[in-house]
Amino acid sequence: MVRRPGGPAALRQTEIDIPEPGPGQVLVKVAAAGVNFIDTYRRSGVYRVDYPHIPGSEGAGSVAALGEAVTDWAVGDQVAWAESASGSYAEYALADAAQLLPVPPGLTLDVAAAIPLQGLTADYLTRSAYELGPEDHALIYAAAGGVGSLATQMALAAGARVIATVGSAAKIPAVAGFGVPGDDIVNLGALTDLTTALPAQVRERTDGQGAHVAYDGIGRDTFAATLASLRRRGLAVLYGGASGQVAPFDPQELNAHGSLYLTRPKLADYTATPAELRERAARVFGAVSARRLRVSIGARFPLADAARAHETLESRRSQGKIVLYL
Do 263 and 309 lie in one domain? The reply is no
Residue 3 within any structural domain of the chain: no
Share of the chain above pLDDT 70, in %: 100
Do 264 and 130 lie in one domain? The reply is yes
Do 131 and 258 lie in one domain? The reply is yes
User: Is 4 a residue whose pLDDT tops 90?
Assistant: yes
User: 70: pLDDT confidence band, cut at 50, 70 and 90?
Assistant: very high
User: Is 318 a residue whose pLDDT tops 80?
Assistant: no
Residue 176 within any structural domain of the chain: yes
Give the residue with greater pLDDT, 15 vs 320: 15
Q: What is the pLDDT of residue 298?
A: 86
Give pLDDT tens digits for 195-233: 999 999 999 999 999 999 999 999 999 999 999 999 999
Nearest-CA neighbor of 283 among 84, 131, 153, 119? 119
- Please answer whether residues 220 and 241 qualify as being in contact, where contact means their C-beta atoms are separated by less than 8 angstroms: yes
Q: What is the pLDDT of residue 203?
A: 98
Q: What is the pLDDT of residue 133?
A: 98
User: Is 316 a residue whose pLDDT tops 90?
Assistant: no
Give the structural domain span for 210: 126-268
User: Is 242 a residue whose pLDDT tops 80?
Assistant: yes
Residue 32 within any structural domain of the chain: yes
Do 192 and 64 lie in one domain? The reply is no
User: Is 103 a residue whose pLDDT tops 90?
Assistant: yes
Give pLDDT tens digits for 136-188: 999 999 999 889 999 999 999 999 999 999 999 999 999 999 999 999 999 99
Nearest-CA neighbor of 300 among 34, 9, 3, 119? 34
* CATH number (domain holding residue 310): 3.90.180.10
Q: What is the pLDDT of residue 296?
A: 86
Q: What is the mean pLDDT of the chain?
A: 95
Q: What is the pLDDT of residue 26?
A: 98
User: 315: pLDDT confidence band, cut at 50, 70 and 90?
Assistant: confident
Do 171 and 101 lie in one domain? The reply is no
Of 251, 268, 285, the one marking the end of a domain is 268
- How many Cβ atoms sit within 10 Å of the Cβ of residue 303? 18
Give pLDDT tens digits for 86-100: 999 999 999 999 999
- Where does residue 195 rank: exposed (0-12), middle (13-18), buried (19+ CB within 10 A)? middle
Give pLDDT tens digits for 104-136: 999 999 999 999 999 999 999 999 999 999 999
Run of H or E residues at 165: strand 161-166
Specify the pairing of strand 321-325 against strand 25-35: antiparallel
Do 235 and 318 lie in one domain? The reply is no
* CATH number (domain holding residue 229): 3.40.50.720
Do 132 and 259 lie in one domain? The reply is yes
Do 180 and 48 lie in one domain? The reply is no
Q: What is the pLDDT of residue 58?
A: 95
Do 82 and 188 lie in one domain? The reply is no
Do 301 and 173 lie in one domain? The reply is no
* pTM for the whole structure: 0.90
Any long-range contacts for 298-304 (C-beta under 8 Å, 24+ apart)? Answer: 298/322, 299/323, 300/110, 300/324, 300/325, 301/35, 301/325, 302/326, 303/13, 303/33, 303/89, 303/90, 303/91, 304/13
Nearest-CA neighbor of 237 among 212, 258, 211, 216? 216
Specify the pairing of strand 211-216 against strand 137-140: parallel
Do 147 and 23 lie in one domain? The reply is no
Do 108 and 141 lie in one domain? The reply is no
